[in-house]
Chains A and B, each alone.
Chain A
Amino acid sequence: MSYACRLRHALRTPVGLTALTGVLALALVALLGPVVLGPAAERVDTGAMLQGPGAAHPLGTDNLGRDIAARVVVATRLTLGLTLAATTIGVLGGLLLGVAPAVLGRRAGRGVTAFVGVLISFPGLLFVLFLATVFGVGATGAVLAVGLAMVPPGARLVQNLTASVAGSEYVAAARILGVGRLRMVTRHLLPNIAEPCLLFAAQAAAGTLVAFSGLSFLGLGVQAPSYDWGRLLGDQLDRLYLNPVAALAPGAAVVLTGVVFALVGEVFAQAGRPVRPPAGGAVAAPGPAPRPARPDGALLQVHDLRVTFPDGRRPVRGVSLSIGEGEAIGLVGESGSGKSLTAQAVAGLVPSPGLVEAGTLRFEGRDLLAERPRGTALAMVFQDPMASLNPALSVGRQLSEVVEVHERAARSAAWARAVDRLRAVRIPDAARRARQRPHSYSGGMRQRAVIGMGLMGTPRLIIADEPTTALDVTVQRQVLDLLGEVRRESGAALLLISHDLAIVAGVCDRVLVMYAGRIVEDLPVANLAGRAAHPYTRALIGAVPTLTTDRDRELATIPGRPPEPADAHPGCPFAARCAHADDRCRTDAPELVPHGTAARVACWHPLTPAAPGPGNPIPEVRDASTAQEATA
């Protein structure tokens, strides 16, 4: 959704409506006030000096008998004009000084940054008063003083924002295309920092209003016979006890206008945050009655697992799987297929506001929908090991914490076990390394430490979500070998999630292939090479070049793109991309049914016969023809 679109959306919220009303009211008063009430505000009436509130003068009169209410209204235009002028100076100056380091050479850029650093170290108020003295008493001097005082904080903000944009790859790409400096600023830098700058400008306007009123109040700003709210406040303050409303009215005007500016800033901030579109029409159909997916005794039983989000996304749509004791299952799928959310649902980690529903979700015989898994029976390894390690604590401390919390082990015993487990996951010099913090570890060592953390208790299931994606190929192999070894030694079951079939094939016994929130095939690893039944599995295998791929043939590709998690598709989700699809595929969703002796597949037209016998050999040549059909 574009920014303009989000802005319109933000304006329809209560805050947005209030801000819009406030801005319109202020503009109207500023435009019409002096026209309508100008003569009344200037009329000197010696017969009605220093009166209190009354019918003729709702807020009373000043020492020349002028109507204070009219003067507060008329002062709106000057106050707003001066505030906006000062804000403009401040924001423009901030943008210029802030963008400069990204545009100038390295040395000049450092100079500008240092200059801004020096300026920002002065207290703001001191800076304003200093500048006001320099520029002299009067409205122009005050505008310059307040505006210039806003430049250093603005410049610092813009500098930080542009530095992150200037370091981005799209700016690097533009530089190697020879894009000029000016164009770089107008086309790449400014559009990408516009939203926080708008927010800053709105907040700065509120601050300027107060600062400006303060200067006028002190007599450094607007001079007689002109007047703004600050000056009116100053004039009436000595009569605060005689006619309080006369002094409070200009103060209230300042406060209300400041609130309007702040609300405008809030609207910009809201528009800057991406909002998701409201839920689409499709509502999750109630699932079939609970039934066990596998005979009892399985370690993890999942039947008809669904994860939905209130905005209509349904990333997991009825997944059934079961993992036996010590079994290693691979869960393979592309990004958006729902594989990670399936694992997170099992571990009870689905991010809010996701809703987990299931016919059955049992681990070690306990219902996970009702209670949390027992202590350390379930271990989780994530893609980014840094995300599961606390950078401020030593690795050994983080490992020993697991058993201190779950088993109430003594500190020294827990530490000894932590060192032992780090040794088990091949951390060299484990006793010394345990005292180090995660940043001294390499990526592969961090991931091994996280696996070691899972081994601190007695895990019966290890869920590893893309554990090697962030790692180097050689390190990837070590971590995979380690997972296999850990499984053999501890007897724990493994659910390995990956986008890469080859990674899973090396470690697991069985592979589940996920597509659009469903499991489309469940097959033994041995069947992957050449005997996969689902066209999607075949295409996935054909799309990845191996060390034996024919270099003269094009790689198999899958036309189109996977459905979005919010899309509704009545038939097979893969039908739109499948070369074998017919009308039935587009209208009826195939169930995951047993196929042959060891596999299950959700497809109306599986590519291998259900029961290969001696007279019905598996057609190996189908592999090539499928690849060509998929490319077509």
Chain B
Amino acid sequence: MSSLELRQLRVRYGRFTAVDGVDLMVPDGGITGLVGGSGCGKSSLGRATVGLAPITGGQILVDGTPVAHRPRRGPVQLVFQSPYASLDPRMSIGAAVAEALPPSRWSPRPGATARARAAEAAHYLELVGLDPGRASLTPGELSGGQRQRVALARALAARPGVLVADEITSALDVSVQGAVLNLLRRLQRELRFSLLFISHDLAVVRYLADQVAVMDRGRLVEHGPADRVLHAPGHAVTASLLSCVPTLEENP
């Protein structure tokens, strides 16, 4: 629904520059994969798009309009890496999703607003394949994959134009990872949000993304269509990442 554009984005923690002048365009309704080794700045870039990292230069534009550099409700939403840390352990999953819904208009009938919000939260839980009857459970009673579904439902309930997914499957078991990736791809096709999918796993990025951007030491070293970047890498970093993907076929 919206495009995300980064112009000369810079993120610094003290004297350490995590993101160093990155220009990146996530086209409207497309999936862009962002890959790189650990410490390359890809997560800092993701957090910067929602104002959670200290931006020291550059601009973040959604549909050409600059967005705030501090965390507030905006057109970009982030799904965090670990569903064990990103959900409040004391809040029911229904309440967590309802909290993300846009502020509702005041209603003269007491309880009507709360009921409407609960119904809408239930709708989002259903959307990610969770039984709305379990809305009163707390995250501790769910498995990792189910928690990540709740985190996804919460981010989508805020009706973002752009969704940033930061390593959302790396804390999950392999059997669950596939289900979450299938779900994310189905939702993206249905709801047409733009997706910036951050991962260290090239195979996962290749499966999802149309465009792939490669980061190394805070800089963008390669960016292009997924097929081109992964089959004919133009930069040594991309080639080295590709050669490190373990496969079942090889033998010592």
Question: Which residues of chain A have a CB within 8 Å of any CB of chain B?
Answer: 2, 168-170, 172-179, 187-188, 191-192, 328, 334-335, 443, 471-477, 480, 484, 499-503, 505-507, 525-526, 528-529, 539-547, 549, 551, 554-558, 561-562
Contact = CB atoms under 8 A, between A and B. Distances in A.
A543 B177 contact: yes
B10 interface: no
Given A476-B244, A499-B173, A505-B248, A176 B207 contact: no
B238 to A, nearest CB: 12
B250 A544 contact: no
Contacts of B246: 476-477, 480, 500, 502-503, 505-506
B26 interface: no
Interface string B31-71: 00000011100000000001110000000000000000001
Contacts of B242: 547
B204 interface: yes
Contacts of A192: 88-90
Contact of A484 (B87, B243, B245, B252): B252
Nearest to A168: B85
Interface in B209-252: 230, 240-252
B74 interface: yes
Contacts of A187: 88, 91, 95, 99
B195 interface: no
A545 B244 contact: no
A566 to B, nearest CB: 15
Given A173-B80, A528-B248, A544 B91 contact: no
Contacts of B38: 443, 471-472, 475
Contacts of B248: 501-502, 505, 528-529, 541, 546
Interface residues of B, number: 62
B249 A547 contact: no
B206 interface: yes
Nearest to B78: A176
A545 B206 contact: yes
Chain A binding site: helix, strand, loop or mixed by DSSP?
helix
B1 interface: no
Interface of B: 37-39, 50-52, 71-74, 76-78, 80, 82, 85-91, 95, 99-100, 138, 143-145, 151, 154, 158, 173-179, 181-182, 200-204, 206-207, 230, 240-252
Given A529-B249, A549-B207, A561 B72 contact: no
A173 B178 contact: no
8 contacts: A170-B89, A173-B78, A176-B74, A178-B158, A472-B38, A542-B178, A544-B178, A561-B145
A594 to B, nearest CB: 23
B173 A169 contact: no
A507 to B, nearest CB: 6
Given A169-B85, A176-B74, A176-B77, A473 B247 contact: no
B251 A551 contact: no
A334 B89 contact: no
A528 B38 CA distance: 29
